Chains A and B, each alone.
Chain A
Amino acid sequence: MALSDISRFVLLRQYGNMRPIFPVVDSKRPVIKHQPFSVIVGQELLQAQALSCIRQDRVLFEQLSFTVRAGDILQVAGKNGAGKSSLLRLLAGLSAPDEGTLHYRSQPLSDVVDDYAANLCFIGHQSGIHEQLTALENLAFWRAAAGVPQPDDYALLAQLGLAGLEDIPCNMLSAGQQRRVSLARLWFTSCQVWILDEPFTALDQSAIAMLQQYFLQHLNRGGAIVLTTHQNLTLQYNSLTTLELAYRW
């Protein structure tokens, strides 16, 4: 951190809403060009067979089977506590199903878990943003975790409507702005499978529209998305499947 950075940081800590001078970026300029995935659209990516999940002595779901193909978007719906997050965490390989099997590209998930993890971008219910770090620092962290080289983070954040907020600690941003920082990862990831837990939480209408548009691009490239949301997707997706989880006692 250069001295000027430090002084600006101190100023920002003291005068949270002061706008310092920032490098001018063209927010219309596309940040990263993504290549299409080398897959046939319709190829099976994830296959769930007869999944069961038990948490705290409660059966969340049983005998759940579905397939996610390249180009598919799967919306997991259901009431609070129906097991949506638990299902996503199973799909992200974080926990193992109590019964049933998961296949990735027709191979058992446990055999190819490293390949799968390398091709998976999971953003959970919590944003994955450290409040004491700035948007830029949080992005740098996730970029290093994903092994992606340095893109133009200023341009990316500007595109997400965060121009001027790049180096303010995230605890001074609103919930929606923090969510934008968290979702910025989707713009530089090269992973094919996205698993997103409530990505629209706290976002305003324009951000939701932008994100849905970006989902469409990802699907057209041959990507796949599994997400939970309480809102209806306003954009028409041809490959949308909705999986309704019933709340069970």
Chain B
Amino acid sequence: MVALATFLQRELRLLARQKADWLNPVLFFVIVLSLFPLGIGPEPNLLRIIAPGVIWIAALLSVLLAAERLFKDDYRNGVLEQLVATRQALWPFVFAKLISNWLSTGLPLVLLSPLVALLLNVDSASFLAMLLTLLLGTPLLSLLSVLGAALTVSADKGGILLALLILPLYIPLLIFASAAMEAAAMALPYYGQLAIMLAMLLVALALVPFAVNSALKINVS
């Protein structure tokens, strides 16, 4: 626990000092969202219909953008290698990365959601659904993007590779999150979708750290 607290403090310090790492993806999210009305047309009803899918696709892409740098510095300067050699210290490190990744990429999206709702003409019922899906879905996004970053940390070419690996894994989340928002827009219950998202989150929370752990070990071996 001491290690987790110290590691988390370190990650938060780094976020405070490397603001571009998490501000750029958030800006990207807002910019992508503002491009959709320009490309599709400003018709409010049309925007309301496409809003769920658009919001979630923008969220996926912006999280992906932040994922690439996640382990790169620590790999390059040897921190990762020496942590793997200690074996136990790798666990708190992985959890610190997960938490800081959500705080820097997921949480800003949740906080920005009222603005997004205004931009895309989302009504209040759908807005609540959007808030709930973002709250449940962004931690899952963080888990998967940490996994992708861990898989590709020592790869010669990251970038597009990360997208190829991770976007297929995002698909279930995309489907259920936008379905929940659509159901809310039609005043239908959407607890089922939320429950499935929660289930996916819990399963990922149980399994992903193991995969991240072994991916990091393989990458420094």
Contact = CB atoms under 8 A, between A and B. Distances in A.
Nearest to B5: A144
A133 B5 CA distance: 16
Interface string B1-37: 0110111001001100110000000000000000000
A169 B13 CA distance: 11
Chain B: interface size category? 20 to 34
Interface stretch (A29-37, A112-120, A152-160, A212-220): A112-120
B213 to A, nearest CB: 14
Count chain B CB atoms within 10 A of each CB in A94, A113, A125, A140 and give the residue with the most. A94
Contacts of B189: none
Contact of A130 (B79, B84, B85): B79
Nearest to B218: A95
B18 A132 contact: yes
A125 B78 contact: yes
B123 interface: no
Interface in B38-97: 73-74, 76-79, 81-89, 92-93
B89 A128 contact: no
A132 B14 contact: yes
Contact of B88 (A89, A117, A132): A117
A126 interface: yes
A129 B85 contact: no
B125 interface: no
A124 B83 contact: no
Given A122-B82, A133-B13, A144 B3 contact: yes
Contact of B77 (A96, A117, A126): A126
Interface in A104-145: 113-114, 117-118, 120, 122-133, 137, 140-141, 143-145
Interface of A: 89, 92-96, 113-114, 117-118, 120, 122-133, 137, 140-141, 143-147, 169
Interface of B: 2-3, 5-7, 10, 13-14, 17-18, 73-74, 76-79, 81-89, 92-93, 220-221
25 contacts: A92-B85, A94-B81, A94-B85, A96-B221, A113-B87, A114-B87, A122-B85, A123-B82, A126-B78, A127-B77, A127-B78, A128-B82, A129-B77, A130-B10, A130-B73, A131-B77, A133-B10, A137-B13, A141-B6, A144-B2, A144-B3, A144-B7, A144-B92, A147-B3, A147-B89
| Closest CB pairs A-B (n = 3) | A126-B78, A144-B6, A145-B89
